[in-house]
Each structure stands twice: as C-alpha cells, then as structure tokens.
Amino acid sequence: MVQIDSNVKSHSRMVQKKLDVLAHRPTKSEAEEAVKVLIRWAGDNPEREGLRDTPDRVIRSYDEFFAGYWQDPEKILRTTFEETEGYDEMVLLKDIEFESHCEHHMVPIIGRAHVAYLPKNRVVGISKLARVVEAYAKRLQIQEKMTSQIANTINTVLKPKGVAVVVEGKHECMGTRGIRKPASSMVTSTMLGAFRLDASTRREFLAFIGKC
C-alpha cells in the first residue's frame, strides 16, 4: 500500500481551500461597488472627482493587505537543510516587523514578532521564518491566534525540540476609536516543547529579546 506523504496531503488541503474560496469570491467590480456603498454610507459621493478612483485603489490595497490568504505557510518551511555540523542551539530571528488587520474592526495592527526554535535535525533559511510571519499577518487576525499559528506551523513542519514566538502589536482599534489609548501595546506568546518545559531555555529566549 502506498502511503501518501503528510506534506502532500497538507498541500492538497490548501489547494482545495483556495479553490473553495475562489468559487465564492466576489468579482473586482462587485468589490468596487461595495466600496462605493461604504463611501455613500459615510456621507460622501463616490462619483466626485477626488473619490472616483478610490474603489479601485481600495481593492488593490486589499490585495496587498490580505495576500496571506493565498500563501501556504507550511509550504514556505519545507525547504530545509540537514548539514548543520551538529548545531543544536537556539535559532532566533527577532524584530520581524509586520502589518496586519484586526478582524473585529478591519483597522491596522502594527508590530513585530520574535521567533525562535531549537533544531533537532534540520534548520530552515531565516528568511522563511519572516515569510511565515508575513503569511499569517496578511490576513484578518486577532493577535493571540496569529501567535499560535506561527508557532504551531513551525512545530508541525520542522519538528524541532521547541518553538517560541512573542508578538508585540499596536492596535489602531484601541488608538483611534473606543477607549482611545494610542500608546498601549499588546504582547502575546506561545511556547512549545523545550521553551515551555525548561525554564532556563525560556529565560534565555526572553533575555535575547529583552523581555527578561
């Protein structure tokens, strides 16, 4: 009996998900009409000169803001290197800047992520860690979920001894509306494996990112 690789199964699920989304995705013209409705709801005229091209600009911006829906974070991590000369200490990429959007109000979350793992047999190119952060950030998000998604994906694909992710974010939904606390920031973390079980390993990571 032929056993199908789990990576192939995961990729197939991702492809099917994209096809399902595309099947129900509004057309560009439908999306532009929706923007016009919002402009009218706000109290302005979408046909006046200054707003005439706004719907097209908004849709093109959304293509950038939400590009993560069309990326497979697990696929990003699949190219790994085994020739590490026995290296088994922490790999840390810190201060990964990101821009996301709050799923409750669709306003920006601006922040940075710190990602570390303890390799078992394989390492991944450091740019791939930043790309995984970007793939999850470029979606409608809550910071807690995004933090877990980054950590769990790295853990699933690389199968390291441990994964640590800390995310710091400033939420415009708090700074520009409601409680209006623009100076506040949110910190979330997910610790897996050795980072969760070993206090000294966790402290080392937190010291490296200036949180200890």
Told to judge if 212 belongs to the known catalytic residues of this protein, a careful annotator would answer no
Indicate which residue of 103, 134, 141, 168 is catalytic.
Answer: 103
Rg (CA), the chain: 20
Q: Single out the catalytic residue among 99, 105, 172, 204.
A: 105
The one catalytic residue in 71, 102, 134, 149 is 102
Which of 30, 33, 104, 144 is flagged as catalytic? 104
105 is catalytic: yes
Q: Which of 134, 143, 149, 168 is catalytic?
A: 143
DSSP summary character for residue 211: -
Which of these is catalytic: 11, 99, 173, 204?
173
**179 burial class (0-12, 13-18, 19+ CB within 10 angstroms)?**
exposed
H or E, element range at 45 = none
3-class secondary structure per residue, 49-116: HHHCCHHHHHHHHHHHHCHHHHCCHHHHCCCEECCCCCCCCCEEEEEEEEEEEECCCCCEEEEEEEEE
> Does 104 qualify as catalytic in the annotation?
yes
Residues with catalytic roles: 102-105, 143, 171, 173
